[in-house]
Each structure stands twice: as C-alpha cells, then as structure tokens.
Chain A
C-alpha cells in the first residue's frame, strides 16, 4: 500500500472524514489519518476498521 496514489473524492464539513479513492476502493479516513497520508508519500494507509 505504501506509495499508492489516492484521489480525494470528498471532504466532510467541520474537519470530518475525507473520502478517498484507492484503486477501486473508496475509503473514509478521519482527519488525522488523512493528514498522515497526505504529508508522507510513503505512508501506508491502515487497514479499514
């Protein structure tokens, strides 16, 4: 997963989750996870819960 390209699809208001497209999967990431992903090109997205 490290180094994968993600596309931001939507940002929910009030600093809520960011919806991203990773390959053929849509993921919702809370703001703290999204910040880690966007600031480190090699950061791995944790498995969804």
Chain B
C-alpha cells in the first residue's frame, strides 16, 4: 500500500459544494478513470481518522473526543496496485443521527456515493458498535468490518473471533489497530477489492447478487422492508415528507444504495431495536473474555469524573496549562521578538524607504511589514502554538471529555454544555482558534452563546494590556481586580444572553472517551495542523490591518477620530480622548491598545511615554477593563462572520461594545472619575 502519488490531487474537502462527490464520480466516469469510493464509517472516537491517516500516510485532524471530523475528507490510496478514494465521514451512532447538525448522516453518506463501506468498530465493545455495521450492511453495499482498538481490548482481556463474526455478518472482518497500523492494510485491501467489484456491478459486467446480504431480521420485518422498497421505487406520495423521500429516491435511482437500503433508512425506528438485539447476540458469540487486573487508565478515567479528586485535578490542570502557556509563550515571544528586532527589522527600516519613495506609503508599509509581522511573532505564534500543543495533549489523552462532564453544571447556567470549556480555554490564548473550536457545540444557539463568551474572554494580547497597564502603575491587586470585573461582566452577559436568545440547552447524554497515553506523533501533527491553519488565516488580516492603521496614523487622521469621540470618552468614561482612539484602533490588533497609547502619550506629553503621567490609577483601571471587553479584533470578527454569518458577528460585536461602555460608565462613576 502506498500514499497518494505526487501528481494526485491529495486531500480534498467534500463539503464546499452540493454533492461534490457525485460530481467527482461523474467527472471521472466521463474521463474513463472511475475510481472506487470507500466510505469510512464508525461511531465517534473509534479511530476512523487515525485509520485514514494510517492508510494514506497523511495527517487528518483526530482527537480522543467525539466530533473531531466535522467535514468529509477524502484521500486517494493505492493498495496492491489498486487505487481508490477513501472518504472520512463524521462519527455517528446511527444512519439517521445528525453528527454535524446540518442533516442526517445518511445524506452525507449519499453525497460521498461510496462503492463500499469500511465500518470501524471498537473490538472491546462490539455490542455497541455492531448495530451501525448492520445498518450499513442493510444499504445493499459491500461492507468490511475493522474490529479496531484491539490493543485496548487486549489489555482489558477481550479477544474477538473474527472468523465467526465474518460468518455471522456475511462480510470480511479484520482485527485492526489504527495507532500501530496492525491489520489496516488487510482491511483496506478487502474493501478496495469489494468496491472495485461494486463498480463492476454498476457497469453491468458483474452480477449484483454478489453484494446482496443474507437476511438477519424476522420475516415480518423483512416483508415490511420489501414493501417499503417497492413504494420508494414507485415514487408514491405516501412516502411522507419530500425532503426525506427525494434524496433517498435519487440515491436509489443513481444506484448508490439499493431500494431495500433506502427502505431500511425509512424504517430505522422498527429496525434499530432488532439490530441491537442481534448485535448483543453476535457479540456474546464472538467475544472471548479473560480475567486481567484492572487497568490504571480505567482508574484514572473514573477519578477524572469524580468530584474528588476530579475537581481539584481539573483546577490544577487548568492552572498548569494557563501557566505553561503564559511562561512558554512569553519565553518564545521574547526570543522571536529579539531575533526579529536584531536582524529583519533594521533591514526593513532601511530597505522600504529606499524602495518606496513616498514617505507616507513607506512608513505605512513598515507598520505592516515590520510591526504586523512582529505582532504575529510576539503574540500569535508563541502563545497560540504553545496552547495548541497543550490542547493536543489533553485531547489525545481523552481528558477533555471528563473535564466537559465536570464543567457541565457550571456552563449549564449559561445555557451551554460542559464541552464549552474546551474553546473557552483556547480563548485565553487567542479568540480566533476558540471561535473555530465552537464547532464542538451542536446547535446554533450554543455556538452563538459560546462565541459571545469567547469574545469576552481576555486573550493573551488583552491580558497583556491589562497586566502591563495596571501592574506597574496601580499594583498587581488592581490587575487581578480588573480580570475579576471582566469575568463578572462576562458571566452576567452570558446569563442575559441565555435568557434573551430563544431555546434551551438539551439534556446531556455523553459517551466518555477512555484515558489513553498521548502519542507524540499525533500531538505534534495535530498542533502543527491547527497552527498552520491559524497562521494562514490570521497573517493576511494582521498585515492588512496594520497597513490600514499605519495609513491612518501616518496621515494624522487619528486626530480627527480623537475630536469625534473625545467628548464622549471624557464625559462618560472619564478618560483622555486619545485613550478612546487607542481603544478604537485596537479593533485591528488588541495589543495596540497599549502600544498605541504609549505612542499617543509620548506625543501628548512631548517626551518618553509614561502611562502613569497620562492617566491616574483609576483611569487606567477603567481603560484596561473597557479595552478588554470592547469589540473583538478584526481577526476574531472574521472568524465570527465565517462561523455565524454577518448577522451573528454583528450581534456579538454590538453586544460586546454596549457591555464595555456600560461597565466602563459604571466603573467611572464608582471610581469618581466621571
């Protein structure tokens, strides 16, 4: 087996357009190069993405937590000279489940248009995983079962008679371990072979009977399936909602699934209890259990969700992660910043004015090329990379789902599930990846509420502003108090938003991931994969934002802004007008709330900047809190727009601005500066 060739298109997302896989199939058929398509299906957290990465020798986003696969990834693989597309689908419990909250799983499966299905199941928990294999088998497509995670099953004393299971299922069964690669090649080889045969069935060069499964259901249910299949083929209006019937009928007519397969989706409510009974019976027949000592990881998993020692451990782990991000991030920031300042920065300062003869443009370009890149090196890269590494370790260990359970009641007050703790923790590093992290939340309401809380969470840049503005001039307790005020405002706003936005949090039924030793390769690859995505997203925004800011500043337009907003800032917040300008420009980059204020202070005072002379401690306190809460930076806004749409992004922006002004006005009154 080998990975995709250098000339192959490589990984491709299938969610960007409607039915792209079907179009791909049509295009390839037209070109006479129809490759079989294999769908990778399994329950969440069973190792599908690791399986795919092992099969294609390419990294795919994986985690020891449900819901890692949020889009369809396909890879071209070659097994013993035969090529095929392998499509990774989100984890699902049943074909009518909605893993991505935008339609049932079977619709995604039809979009992938597979010629065969590789079902990945947990070898240590077949009773729970076989119903999905049966449901896939009912579709009329050839299937292969990979009894995965055999290493974990073995440690728990569980063995599987794969030969007997293959007899019962009427399909090849392979014992596999995605983490080590054991058995993966064999499972893929069988699946590619069967998928190729299926292509031959579609082409009419082979008998379709070779892929028809033997019946396992009672005759009455079997008869009902046959009758329903006839109805689907007839296109009878009695099928019910057209939105369900139409895509099923299209799937049947385009030969993606059989008519009985479509009927099995329609009759899932009748079939599912029978599948569970059959699965329990089969699991009892094929599993071999021997006595083994209880595993340490199982004890750890139990402790992690118990109040004692789970809650103290959660607090300790969270604080340690936060401390590590601040310490390691700060250390990296200093190294990168100094290296940039000593090498590239002097070169740019000399070269740009020489190349660009217009001083205004040259100075503005330096804001982008020197200041903008330095901003990425001193904030984005060190803190975000460190955070991603830690997050990858916590995810791969399986601890995050335990943390989600412990935090569920706390976040439940805000209308959010406990898994919100994951992106919120990310928000302390940078809001942008945290906004993308809200994909772990299932409903739009949860994502809206979660994103709002994230934008109110001080990122590393905003935390730096709060600490640097307050600690030297008002003392460390004042900085801590500012964080407390921001936190209290965020909680109050979250409660208000929960009350105002219609809907309520659904009940929690969460399957807990086992605790596992993180794999170094997974952790590094995962952190790099996300970090690269962050750099690609954030760098252009930082550069363009810095250029715009530079143009405004170098052209002296900031004085006009000061004249415009100055009276309101002085009267309502008790701050000098230039403080309002710094907060407004921090929309481009949050750390500028401090940097720009120092520049303005130097201009205003006519000498080396000293915030202590520009504002008194009370004013600095109000400034730190307002700049921390006020509208998200442009990079966060771009992420919000992408995830929630323009309306959601605008709503959150307006709400955070109103909250910042409200808190600022109250604080200014309480502190006697307005």
Contact = CB atoms under 8 A, between A and B. Distances in A.
A7 B412 CA distance: 24
Contact of B409 (A16, A26, A33, A49): A16
The contact size tier of chain A is: 20 to 34
Contact of A17 (B94, B311, B508): B508
A42 B474 CA distance: 63
A10 B306 contact: yes
Nearest to B124: A24
B202 interface: no
A2 B508 CA distance: 18
B509 A27 contact: yes
B302 A28 contact: no
Contact of B510 (A11, A13, A32, A48): A48
Contacts of A17: 405, 408-409, 418, 508, 510
Interface residues of B, number: 34
Nearest to B94: A47
A16 B510 CA distance: 13
A40 B510 CA distance: 20
A10 B511 contact: no
Contact of A27 (B125, B418, B510): B510
A28 B409 contact: no
B125 A30 contact: no
B511 A27 contact: yes
A48 B506 CA distance: 12
B352 to A, nearest CB: 54
B487 interface: no
Interface string B487-515: 00000000000000000001111111000
Contact of A32 (B401, B408, B507): B507
A30 B307 contact: no
Interface in B375-397: none
Contacts of B125: 23-25
Nearest to A1: B276
B276 A29 contact: no
B103 to A, nearest CB: 16
A6 interface: no
B511 A25 contact: yes
A23 B129 CA distance: 12
Nearest to B311: A13
B301 A30 contact: no
Nearest to B307: A13
Interface of A: 1, 9-17, 19, 23-30, 32-33, 45-49
Given A9-B305, A14-B409, A27-B510, 14 more contacts: A9-B306, A10-B310, A16-B405, A17-B418, A24-B127, A24-B128, A26-B305, A27-B512, A30-B408, A32-B507, A33-B508, A45-B509, A47-B509, A48-B510
25 contacts: A10-B310, A12-B405, A12-B406, A12-B408, A14-B409, A16-B406, A16-B410, A17-B408, A17-B418, A17-B510, A19-B305, A19-B306, A24-B124, A25-B125, A25-B128, A26-B511, A26-B512, A27-B511, A28-B508, A28-B509, A29-B507, A30-B408, A30-B507, A32-B507, A33-B509
Interface of B: 66, 93-94, 97, 124-125, 127-128, 156, 276, 301-302, 305-307, 310-311, 401, 404-406, 408-410, 412, 418, 442, 506-512
